[in-house]
Structure 1
Amino acid sequence: MRIKYLYLLIILITSCTSLSKSKSPSYCSFPENSPYPGGLINYSLNTERKYLEKNLRVKDLEFSICKEQGSPKSLLIPIPLTFEEDRVSIFFSDQLISSIDIESRDYRESRITISNQDFVSPPNAMLERIKEEYSQSISAKNVFNLKKNTSKEMIIPLEGIMSSEYGVKRFINGKPRNRHSGLDIAAAEGSPIFAPLSGKVILAGNFFYKGNVIFIDHGNGLVSSYSHLSKKLVDVNQIITTGDNIGFVGSTGRVTGPHLHWEVYFLGIPINPVIFIKN
Structure 2
Amino acid sequence: MSQAMRLGALGLLPYHALTLEELEEATNNFEPSNLMGKGSQGQLYKGWFSDGSVVVVRCLKLKQRHALKILKQQMEVISKLRHRHLVSILGHCYVTYEESPNATDTIFLIFEYVSNGTLRSHLTEWRKQEMLKWSQRLAAATGIARGIQFLHTRIVPGVLRNNFNIKNILLDENLTAKISDYKLPRPFINKITKVGSESPFNGAAWRSGQLERGLAEGPKKLRGETDPSIRGTFAYESLKTAVEITINCLSEDIGQRPSIEDVLWNLQYSAQVQDGWANSENLGTHS
Q: TM-score range by the shorter chain?
A: under 0.3
Report which of the two has the higher share of helix. 2
Report which of the two has the higher share of strand. 1
Q: What TM-score, normalized to structure 2?
A: 0.24
